[in-house]
Amino acid sequence: MVTIRADEISDIIRERIEQYNREVNIVNTGTVLQVGDGIARIHGLDEVMAGELVEFEEGTIGIALNLESNNVGVVLMGDGLLIQERSSVKATGRIAQIPVSEAYLGRVVNALAKPIDGRGEISASEFRLIESAAPGIISRRSIYEPLQIGLIAIDSMIPIGRGQRELIIGDRQTGKTAVATDTILNQQGQNVICVYVAIGQKASFVAQVVTTLQERGAMEYTIVVAETADSPATLQYLAPYTGAALAEYFMYRERHTLIIYDDLSKQAQAYRQMSLLLRRPPGREAYPGDVFYLHSRLLERAAKLSSSLGEGSMTALPIVETQSGDVSAYIPTNVISITDGQIFLSTDLFNFGIRPAINVGISVSRVGSAAQIKAMKQVAGKLKLELAQFTELEAFAQFASDLDKATQNQLTRGQRLRELLKQSQSAPLTEAASVGEWLYNGGPYELIVLHFLLGVACYMGREWELSFRLGMRPWIAVAYSAPVAAATAVFLIYPIGQGSFSDGMPLGISGTFNFMIVFQAEHNILMHPFHMLGVAGVFGGSLFSAMHGSLVTSSLIRETTENESANEGYRFGQEEETYNIVAAHGYFGRLIFQYASFNNSRSLHFFLAAWPVVGIWFTALGISTMAFNLNGFNFNQSVVDSQGRVINTWADIINRANLGMEVMHERNAHNFPLDLAAIEAPSTNG
């Protein structure tokens, strides 16, 4: 018989009590009362939040939108065919969010940020809320950077800036999507991330847009969010917010983004469908009362961030479709009041063959010329007024039989302007749209310099031709090639190497000296051996040539006396030395070394001419190497002794001077003495 000991039993019971897990997992659950048409009514879920994600038994996800007294109205993000009444639902405690990363570039995703292009999953480690708060007033700054659309009519008369919200509005089949896709195509090379959101469009139409972007290489910087016409209303409602979340990811990383909503009319219709099924009170045109807030909270997320946040931007181009040109309908007037302007596309102009069919009279950009460069302001300042006057005059001219000369000239000019603004689809004028970049990168300077270099090169060729015809050796043209090489180096090769013609040598005396200082500060050209050869050639050759020329010339203009020399003045073809050349021999021998003197001969003359020419050639070669930042030729390395201390050399002195010149050309040059003192302050830590 087994003996039962009370102390062992008590120890076992005590151990089991200590190991007992008393944690209670509280789950907010509910029961499905009714499901159908993408809507489910749930009993329970007492602590659910508005907009919170809920999960059904079979895995379908929904969003709690209606919080009523005895039930919760949930919209389903799926067909919900497997959901049964009286099945359980649990709250997740999370607001709708999507993964975001750089890997989304070039992909086509749905409203849940899941890829639908058949190219596999997208890796992402970060998440963003689908509906996040828009940047506040302090987080923004005024719009000042132009966003080039690529369409002359828009860039000249309806300028759009980075961070702006510009509505594209018009009837169906008037080219609204064409304007949007041309804008995406024109951002190639502009460091702008584009997001195209297709809402309720045909799948074939979305595929056509994606194909166009792929063929033109625009998918590399574009994300396409697509919910086609057969998608549930919930996903069509969420698609614009998903696109905005993806664009915000890049905006808050100091990038410029462009987002296109094509189109918000379909989103409003999907939201109306959801609201009516949720039995919310209908308003004008059966839309719910908060349909304005639907679009305002979406479009307010477009902004130009302040300097403290990196000055990223999100430019929004929403598209709204009108019925028979009625811009006074509910949704168009709502979006017009939210955005910073609108581009109205007219059916009549489209049918008349004017494409893009922009009605300049009622199209406007409230940012205006703040998003234009000065050159574009001057060129296009009166263009919109002239076109408006032409349109009005053209309407009256239809009823007139005899027009005066001034009216005819105005009509002719207006017709030419109208033809000038015509463009074909998918052909944005990148060159015309980048006038600002062309001016910023020294475009006029480039034109002047190229014409100048072409002129001096032709003159050098002319010298060669004249020498050939006269039976002379081509030494004049060869000597002239030295300044041509130097001019080519500073005017053409250096700007190309630095990436902008705005870095070329200015065409002026003070600008040239400033260019020399900046060049030395940035490239340390004084310690470049090729530049040293050039200096030696120019100054040494000039010194010897000047001394030799002055000595020989003085013997040409007068005859020497018997006291000076037995030789008379220099005669043409004379081989004997004159007195002055003899004196020059002695002078050079004492100045440099004994063998530095030469007889007055052809070889001496050739040497005096070739020395500076070759030196200037080497200088041009040195500038050309510096243009591409090839600093290996620079003798500016510091010498360090065995203790690791720097031995002051001329290189260190020049480097210190370069530091001063470089800092003095910065914005905060007045802080340079303080910065230098802080750098040189001795350490007090041991």
Residue 160 Cα distances to 148, 314, 439, angstroms: 7, 12, 19
Domain extents in the chain: 6-16+25-95, 108-321+329-421, 473-568+579-668
Closest to 354 (Cα-Cα) out of 346, 362, 365: 346
Catalogue the active-site residues: 366
Token pair for residue 198?
């297709």
At residue 433, the pLDDT reads: 43
Phi-psi region of 183 (alpha: psi -120 to 50; beta: other; left: phi over 0): alpha
Greater model confidence, 389 or 544: 389
What is the CA angle 21-24-27, rounded to 5? 145
Phi-psi region of 389 (alpha: psi -120 to 50; beta: other; left: phi over 0): alpha
Give the other-Cβ count within 10 Å of 583's Cβ: 14
Q: What are the respective helix, strand and coil percentages of the chain, to the nearest 5?
A: 50, 15, 35
**Which secondary structure element, helix H or strand E, spans residue 250, and what is its range?**
helix 233-251
The pLDDT tens digits for 186-197 are: 998 889 999 999
379-393, 445-459, 500-514: the lowest-pLDDT one: 500-514
Q: Are strands 364-365 and 256-262 parallel, antiparallel or unpaired?
A: unpaired
Closest to 418 (Cα-Cα) out of 377, 474, 357: 357
Greater model confidence, 217 or 502: 217
* Distance (Å, whole) CA 467 – CA 392: 67
At residue 681, the pLDDT reads: 41
Which are the contacts of 499, defined by CB distance < 8 A and separation ≥ 6?
none
The pLDDT tens digits for 561-595 are: 555 444 444 555 556 555 455 555 555 555 555 55
Place of tokens 């690529």: 150
Fold of the CATH domain 473-568+579-668? Photosynthetic Reaction Center, subunit M; domain 1 (1.20.85)
Mean pLDDT confidence for 84-90 = 91
At residue 577, the pLDDT reads: 55
Class of domain 108-321+329-421 (CATH, top level): alpha beta
The pLDDT tens digits for 626-684 are: 887 666 565 655 566 677 676 666 566 666 666 655 555 543 333 434 444 444 444 44
Give the whole-number percent of the chain exceeding pLDDT 90.
40
Which are the contacts of 406, defined by CB distance < 8 A and separation ≥ 6?
none
How high does pLDDT run on average in the chain? 81
* Distance (Å, whole) CA 462 – CA 467: 9
DSSP code of residue 304: B
**Which secondary structure element, helix H or strand E, spans residue 260, and what is its range?**
strand 256-262
Greater model confidence, 171 or 450: 171
* Distance (Å, whole) CA 444 – CA 491: 13
At residue 589, the pLDDT reads: 58
Confidence of residue 490 (pLDDT cuts 50, 70, 90): confident
Place of tokens 């020329």: 549
* Distance (Å, whole) CA 522 – CA 375: 31
The pLDDT tens digits for 22-81 are: 666 677 889 999 998 889 999 988 889 988 999 998 888 999 999 988 899 999 988 788
What backbone torsions phi and psi does residue 316 show, to the nearest 5 degrees?
-110, 130
Phi-psi region of 325 (alpha: psi -120 to 50; beta: other; left: phi over 0): left
What backbone torsions phi and psi does residue 376 show, to the nearest 5 degrees?
-65, -35
Mean pLDDT confidence for 137-148 = 91
Q: Which CATH number fits domain 6-16+25-95: 3.20.20.70, 1.10.540.10, 3.30.420.340, 2.40.30.20?
A: 2.40.30.20
The answer to whether 355 touches 424, Cβ cutoff 8 Å, is: yes
Length of the chain (residues)? 686
At residue 79, the pLDDT reads: 78
The answer to whether 365 touches 341, Cβ cutoff 8 Å, is: yes
The pLDDT tens digits for 288-346 are: 999 999 999 999 999 999 999 999 999 999 999 999 889 999 999 999 999 999 999 99
* Distance (Å, whole) CA 290 – CA 296: 10
**Which secondary structure element, helix H or strand E, spans residue 160, and what is its range?**
none
DSSP code of residue 592: T
Which are the contacts of 533, defined by CB distance < 8 A and separation ≥ 6?
614, 615, 618, 619
* Distance (Å, whole) CA 146 – CA 301: 19
Residue 674 Cα distances to 120, 518, 652, 681, angstroms: 56, 22, 20, 10
Buried b / exposed e along 517-540 (16+ C-beta atoms within 10 A): ebbbbbbbbbbbebbbbbeebbee
In the three-class reduction of DSSP (H, G, I as helix; E, B as strand; rest coil), residue 545 is classed as: helix
CA 408 to chain centre: 44
Residue 106, exposed/middle/buried by CB under 10 A (0-12, 13-18, 19+)?
Answer: middle
* Distance (Å, whole) CA 291 – CA 237: 11
In the three-class reduction of DSSP (H, G, I as helix; E, B as strand; rest coil), residue 280 is classed as: coil
* Distance (Å, whole) CA 158 – CA 19: 74
* Distance (Å, whole) CA 140 – CA 314: 11
